Amino acid sequence: NAGVTQTPKFQVLKTGQSMTLQCAQDMNHEYMSWYRQDPGMGLRLIHYSVGAGITDQGEVPNGYNVSRSTTEDFPLRLLSAAPSQTSVYFCASSFGQGANYGYTFGSGTRLTVV
Amino acid sequence: GENVEQHPSTLSVQEGDSAVIKCTYSDSASNYFPWYKQELGKRPQLIIDIRSNVGEKKDQRIAVTLNKTAKHFSLHITETQPEDSAVYFCAAGGGYQKVTFGIGTKLQVIP
């Protein structure tokens, strides 16, 4: 099993550009999430999904969209990149439909918006 | 929503000593409390977790305790080693709730 695969690992965007961060898992996990990690602020939840076709907002959803058309994939879209979105982004998945089991994290995407 | 507070933010211990990291949570509906270790430049990895029907759980040198009444839980690392140096995150969740993380504790083990 590959676990949770995130692409790309690094990305530089110009302000106003859009892009999609890809996340795929091969563990048949129902629960998937996107977090951003900034120095001194821990891991903050952007969006999460309890199963295919179901998504919900986390604590910092503005400027991001998600969709969950399959169990395996959970892409994160930046609509119009801003310097404040410079961060490390982690995708994570877990067994079951709720927040009842530990996460498996992807390796992260380091995004810089200039 | 859930609010998780974690302290200290940094912790230095001598090799062989114990380290304790504490977290508090606000939502009494939370019933799952995992701990993650993140080494520099790497992804967080689950090291231990505890559920609300258990007061303590141990795995070799690592233990976690939970006090539901006071809404706090703690990570205990005994006989610390240099490879324990990392950032440790607590989190709270359960059911169909979101998983909320603490801000992290940077642990430095001094040889």
Question: In sequence order, what DSSP letters do the residues of B47-93 get, joined into one string?
Answer: EEEEETT-SEEEETTEEEEEETTTTEEEEEE-S--GGG-EEEEEEEB
Q: Is A49 helix (H, G, I), strand (E, B) or coil?
A: strand
> What is the mean pLDDT of the segment spanning B77-102?
93
Contact call for A58 and B89, based on CB within 8 A: no
How close B67 gets to chain A, by Cα (Å)? 18
Task: Provide the pLDDT confidence category of residue B15 given band limits of 50, 70 and 90.
Answer: very high
pLDDT at A23: 98
Contact call for B46 and A103, based on CB within 8 A: yes
pLDDT at A96: 77
CA distance A70 to A107: 21
- Residue from the list A40, A43, A106 with its beta carbon closest to the beta carbon of B89: A43
CA dihedral (A50, A40, B107, B65) positive or negative: negative
Lowest mean pLDDT among A23-27, A28-32, B86-90, B96-100: B96-100
A chain contacts of residue B54, beta-carbon cutoff 8 Å: none
pLDDT at B86: 98
Residue A62 near residue A48 (C-beta atoms within 8 A): no
- Residue from the list A58, A99, A102 with its beta carbon closest to the beta carbon of B95: A99
- Tell me the per-residue pLDDT of A2-44, one tens digit each, with 9 for 90 and over: 899 999 999 999 999 999 999 999 999 999 999 999 988 889 9
Task: Provide the pLDDT confidence category of residue B19 given band limits of 50, 70 and 90.
Answer: very high
Nearest Cα residue in chain A from B9: A40
CA distance A63 to A84: 10
- Tell me the per-residue pLDDT of A65-110, one tens digit each, with 9 for 90 and over: 999 999 999 999 999 999 999 999 999 999 876 778 899 999 999 9
pLDDT at B30: 92
Q: How far is CA A42 from CA A29, A52, B1, B91, in A?
A: 24, 27, 17, 10
CA distance B35 to B6: 11
CA distance B107 to B14: 11
Tokens of A22: 């890809």
